[in-house]
Structure 1
Amino acid sequence: MSREKREALDRLVAAIRQSQTANDRMDEAFADLLGINRTDGRCLDIVQRLGQITAGELARQSGLTTGAVTAVIDRLEMAGYLRRIRDAADRRKVFVELTELAEAITDAVYRRIDEISDAGMGALAIEQLELIARFLHTGARLNAVLADFLRDYVDPQARDPVERLRAAKNFAARVGRERGAIMAEMAAAWNEPPPDIPSGRR
């Protein structure tokens, strides 16, 4: 790899990390506005993005256990942001969706942000927008895989920093061993179209 390309990749990674930090701050501020914790906020965002969803699918999308997701839904329902709905065809199946209150708050906060974003990105060609979407989709898939790997080495009881360093090194070694599989996962993500935008686009 040439020095120029290496430097360009380094700038790209730095920009991604800067964007992730800014997104994290925005997510934290929005959760504070709603009076909920970050995990609940993440789950609320998933429901807003995907629309009506089962608890099992919410667990899969969020990376939480089904028990943890049940507790999240309970808290968000009590706060007035989610409601449970039974499937008309199968009463045993339960979905969750945003309440009108949650939709109104989300719309109030994000509509203007979307307008500004649309105006700023409107100068890009369709092909450029599709390339950015594909890149972000691939990055999301990579982060999901790595998060699952890293979670295998998380010990909530660990208190010694040396133990945490050992866990981090074990994670790094695993990533090295499974580099080929990770690259294949990224290639698969790159070659598939990014997900369609649900009707609940904020």
Structure 2
Amino acid sequence: MYRARESERERLRDEIVNLLRSYSVEAQHVGHAFAQRHDVHPTDLRALIAVMNAERRGDPLTPGRLGEEIGLSSGATTAVIDRLERSGHLRRTRESADRRVVHLRYGEPGMALAAAFFGPLGKRTDAVMAGFSDAELATVHRFLAGMSEALTAYHRDVRGSGPA
């Protein structure tokens, strides 16, 4: 009986890993479709997502922190910011008493494009989540937060170690 439970757990684990992998690939495809449709380089899209996530946390990024987050040099980060600012996707703001500190914010035109493109996806994901109880969503949240933390930690490890 113990072995049967273990094999069921292994089967479920394998299915979850496969679903996470499929979700990741599909999310990348959707991101690439947005980038192609709106003439945004994939690196620029990663920068936009980082800026958006930081804003949602209430902790807007500085150019230096953006570069660290997406793994770019200072010069490459400036080029990304300049492109995104010219296209209206991003804006620089000075919100600190120290006027040298620049924060990056999502630009209104960029938000409108993202809302138009990703809005239908949001409706679909809302419909999926509506089928779960609050307790189930709390469990899913705890699981995904743990998986995200594990992935982020591993990325930090391999980013610094070079080729395997």
TM-score tier (shorter) = 0.7 to 0.9
CA distance in 1, matches of 2:161, 2:62: 28
1:83 aligns with 2:87: no
Larger RCO, structures 1/2 (Cα 8 Å, 6+ apart): 1
Counterpart of 1:199?
Answer: none
Name the amino acid aligned to 1:32.
Q
Greater CA drift, 136-145 or 4-13: 136-145
Q: Which residue of 2 aligns with 1:161?
A: none
Q: CA deviation at 1:91?
A: 0.6
Aligned residues: 156
Report the counterpart of residue 73 of structure 1 in structure 2.
81
Is 1:27 the counterpart of 2:31? The answer is yes
Q: Secondary structure at the match of 1:110?
A: helix
Give the aligned partner of residue 114 of structure 1. Answer: 122
Partner of 2:65: 57
Give the AA of the match of 1:148. Answer: R
Instruction: Read off the aligned partner of 2:46 and give its amino acid letter.
Output: R
Aligned counterpart, 2:104: 96
> How many Å separate the matches in 1 of 2:111 and 2:27?
20
**Cα offsets for 1:141-172 (capped at 9, x unmatched):** 21122222222344xxxxxxxxxxxx43xxxx
- Mapped to 2, the partners of 1:151 and 1:63 lie a distance apart of 9
CA deviations on 1:107-165 (whole Å, 9 max, x unpaired) are 111222212211221120111111111211111121122222222344xxxxxxxxxxx
- The yes-or-no answer on 1:141 pairing with 2:149 is yes
State the partner residue of 1:125: 133
Match of 2:8 among 4, 11, 30: 4
Q: Match for residue 39 of structure 1?
A: 43
Work out the CA distance in 2 between the residues paired with 1:40 and 1:106.
13
Q: Identity across aligned pairs (percent)?
A: 31
Structure 2 residue matching 1:19: 3-state secondary structure: helix
What is the CA-CA distance between 1:44 and the residue it aligns to?
A: 0.4
88 and 144 in structure 1: CA distance in 2 versus 1, 3 angstrom threshold: closer
Ranges in structure 1 where 5+ consecutive residues have no aligned partner:
155-166, 169-202
Q: What is the alpha-carbon distance in structure 2 between the residues aligned to residue 10 and residue 141 of structure 1?
A: 19
The Cα RMSD (Å) is: 1.9
Q: What CA distance in whole angstroms lies between the structure 2 residues aligned with 1:102 and 1:32? A: 14
Alignment match, 1:16? 20
Q: Structure 2: give runs of 5+ residues left out of the alignment.
A: none
Instruction: Provide TM-score, normalisation by structure 1.
Output: 0.70
1:16-62 per-position Cα deviation (integer Å, ceiling 9, x unaligned): 10111101101111111221211110110121232243223323433
CA separation of 1:71 and 1:5: change in aligned 2, threshold 3 A: same
